[in-house]
């Protein structure tokens, strides 16, 4: 009995000590919501009073300065906020707009980096935390005018880490004339770091955004991806941007991260301009673009009106149409210019592109290794220098014979001819692909197209979608079509139980 009482006594002591220790350990503080408006009853500290709309702060800088991991900063809509300096977001909190009912309202929540009457402008944001999130703003009149050798680019946003979503990024400028042209640019956004303090780091994404009317002196009028990753750009419209300086590329996007992992998907890359290369986008170092529209872009002087591809890059399920390589010298590849080792083009439709020299649709020159074109339509393109013969494609590997371009299950004309081991073809279709209405830009397949069920199935197609969002391999035939779209038979489907 005495032993049992002693046991209970020590159990109570240990439980008490455990409770005391638990109480002594500080609990993490709960996330805080902060509020920002253009006018307020409490426009100055303390920060504890900025946690409701009635006492919201007017100074976005001061609110961001106190926000920490897990917090949210809400900025009211129907207002324009002016910045005198860029805002650095170094913690894992969300900065977002607040519209009717609490929804994000990018169209009516505007952050302007050009104060009326000011002589200069500045960048809007630098995000340097993996979970930092910027959501639901219009960002305009930002400018990076850095002239130091290691300056980070990005007219509106320098994205070292973090996420940008549901934003309108328009009329911003990156005027950094860095001597290393691959580092300078990103009129709208620079993804990656170009500074000695943060060498080659970065990861995050840009989702559901409109990047429009931005300009870079060098690369990436809309977006520059410079270092590391993985980076993701998804469900975005990149339009009307320009790269206008010397040695530039990528009027819309310049994706040249030295690490694999950059994927651009479900985007519209349209009506962008580059003075030199890649009117729409430049893909380098294993970058990929999936299920996207690359249309109406212009490379004024050199290759790749729509896309310029480099080593181990990929285009998959994309429509590349109405792009132009318009220069008087080296103007190859109105739709696509592919160089470097092993670029890959899969299930794309390359149509109605133009260049002044060779390869109105696709140009392969200065390539290496074994580039592949598979299940792709290359049709109705034009080239002034060799109209007809080299309108759809041009292959030039005069310096070596070990590098071979392989076309498998493609639809183009004329038939690919193997010359000195430069190119090989398997199952090429040279008949009209029979688009629904090419004149109006409907490049889906109509009934009777020779491209229906004529492709070769690949493992990546399991669960994948075509450019319209339908099954990449339809459930009826079990065979993939050639081009970016799967043919959908019309009629009534009866289900028998």
Residue pLDDT, tens place only, 119-171: 667 899 999 998 999 999 999 999 886 655 455 588 999 998 899 999 999 99
Q: Which residue has the higher pLDDT, 89 or 25?
A: 89
- Indicate the burial class of 201 (C-beta count within 10 angstroms; 0-12, 13-18, 19 or more): middle
In whole angstroms, give the CA distance from residue 286 to residue 269.
19
Q: Which residue has the higher pLDDT, 257 or 283?
A: 283
Q: How many beta carbons lie within 10 A of that of residue 26, not counting itself?
A: 6
Q: Which of 13-27, 65-79, 299-313 has the lowest mean pLDDT?
A: 13-27
- Which DSSP state fits 275? S
In whole angstroms, give the CA distance from residue 84 to residue 460.
49
User: Is residue 124 a contact partner of residue 151, using CB atoms and an 8 Å limit?
Assistant: no
Quote the tokens at residue 431: 């008949």
Q: Is residue 339 scored above 90 in pLDDT?
A: no
Return the pLDDT at 92: 96
* 41 — pLDDT class (breaks 50, 70, 90): low
* 388 — pLDDT class (breaks 50, 70, 90): low
In whole angstroms, give the CA distance from residue 203 to residue 444.
36
- Over residues 103-119, mean pLDDT: 87
Looking at the chain, the domain(s) classified CATH 2.160.20 span 72-426
Q: Which residues of 45-61 are buried (b: 16+ CB within 10 A; e: fewer)?
A: eeeeebeeeeebbbebe
In whole angstroms, give the CA distance from residue 433 to residue 31.
58
Q: Is residue 485 scored above 50 in pLDDT?
A: yes
DSSP reduced 3-state for 269: strand
Nearby residues of 246 by Cβ (< 8 Å), 6 or more positions away: 181, 218, 275, 276
Nearby residues of 441 by Cβ (< 8 Å), 6 or more positions away: 321, 322
Q: Which of 100-114, 122-136, 392-406 has the lowest mean pLDDT?
A: 392-406
Q: Is residue 176 scored above 90 in pLDDT?
A: no
Relative to beta strand 435-437, strand 442-445 is antiparallel
In whole angstroms, give the CA distance from residue 348 to residue 319.
6
DSSP reduced 3-state for 6: helix
Return the pLDDT at 221: 94
pLDDT digits (tens, 9 = 90+) for 410-444: 999 988 765 545 778 899 999 999 999 888 889 99
The CATH number that domain 72-426 falls under is 2.160.20
Q: How far is CA 231 from CA 87, 91, 265, in A?
A: 22, 19, 11
Q: How many beta carbons lie within 10 A of that of residue 2, not counting itself?
A: 6
What is 137-163 written as a DSSP string? -EEES-EE---STT----SSEEEEEEE
Within 13 Å and on the Cβ side, how many CA atoms surround 265?
13
């Amino acid at each position: 009995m005495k032993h049992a009482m002693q046991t209970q006594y020590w159990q109570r002591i240990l439980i008490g000590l455990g409770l005391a220790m638990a109480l002594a350990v500080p609990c993490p503080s709960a996330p805080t919501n902060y509020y920002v408006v253009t006018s307020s009853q409490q426009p100055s500290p303390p920060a504890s009073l900025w946690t409701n709309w009635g006492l919201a702060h007017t100074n976005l800088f001061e609110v961001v300065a106190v926000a920490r991991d897990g917090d949210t900063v809400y900025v009211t809509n129907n207002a324009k906020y002016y910045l005198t300096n860029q805002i650095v977001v170094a913690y894992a909190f969300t900065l977002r707009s607040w519209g009717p009912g609490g929804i994000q309202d990018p169209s009516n929540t505007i952050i302007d980096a050009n104060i009326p009457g000011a002589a200069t402008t500045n960048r809007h944001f630098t995000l340097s935390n993996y979970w930092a999130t910027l959501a639901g703003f219009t960002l305009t009149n930002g400018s990076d005018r850095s002239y130091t050798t290691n300056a980070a680019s990005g007219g509106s946003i320098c994205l070292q880490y973090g996420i940008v979503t549901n934003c309108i990024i328009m009329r911003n400028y990156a005027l950094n004339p860095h001597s290393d042209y691959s580092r300078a640019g990103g009129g709208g956004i620079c993804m990656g770091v170009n500074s000695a303090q943060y060498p080659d780091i970065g990861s995050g994404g840009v989702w559901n955004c409109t990047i429009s009317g931005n300009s870079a002196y060098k690369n990436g009028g809309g977006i520059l991806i410079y270092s590391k990753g993985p980076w993701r750009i998804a469900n975005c419209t990149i339009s009307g941007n320009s790269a206008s300086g010397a040695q530039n590329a990528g009027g819309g996007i310049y994706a040249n991260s030295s690490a694999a992992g950059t994927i651009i998907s479900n985007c519209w890359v349209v009506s962008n301009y580059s003075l030199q290369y890649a009117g729409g986008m430049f893909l380098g170092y294993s970058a990929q673009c999936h299920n996207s529209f690359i249309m109406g872009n212009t490379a004024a002087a050199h290759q790749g009106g729509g896309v310029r591809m480099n080593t181990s890059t990929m285009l998959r399920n994309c429509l590349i149409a109405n792009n132009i390589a318009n220069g008087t010298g080296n103007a190859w590849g109105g739709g696509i210019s592919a160089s470097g080792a092993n670029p890959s083009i899969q299930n794309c439709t390359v149509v109605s592109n133009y260049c002044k020299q060779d390869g109105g649709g696709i140009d392969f020159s200065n390539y290496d290794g074994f580039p592949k074109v598979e299940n792709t339509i290359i049709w109705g393109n034009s080239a002034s220098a060799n109209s007809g013969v080299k309108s759809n494609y041009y292959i030039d590997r005069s310096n070596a014979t070990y590098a071979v371009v392989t076309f498998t299950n493609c639809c183009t004309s004329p038939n690919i001819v193997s010359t000195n081991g430069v190119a090989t073809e398997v199952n090429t279709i040279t008949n009209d692909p029979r688009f629904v209405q090419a004149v109006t830009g409907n490049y889906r397949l109509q009934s009777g197209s020779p491209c229906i069920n004529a492709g070769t199935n690949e493992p990546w197609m399991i669960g994948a979608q075509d450019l319209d969002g339908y099954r990449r391999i339809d459930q009826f035939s079990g065979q993939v079509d050639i081009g970016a779209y799967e043919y959908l038979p019309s009629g009534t489907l009866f289900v028998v139980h």
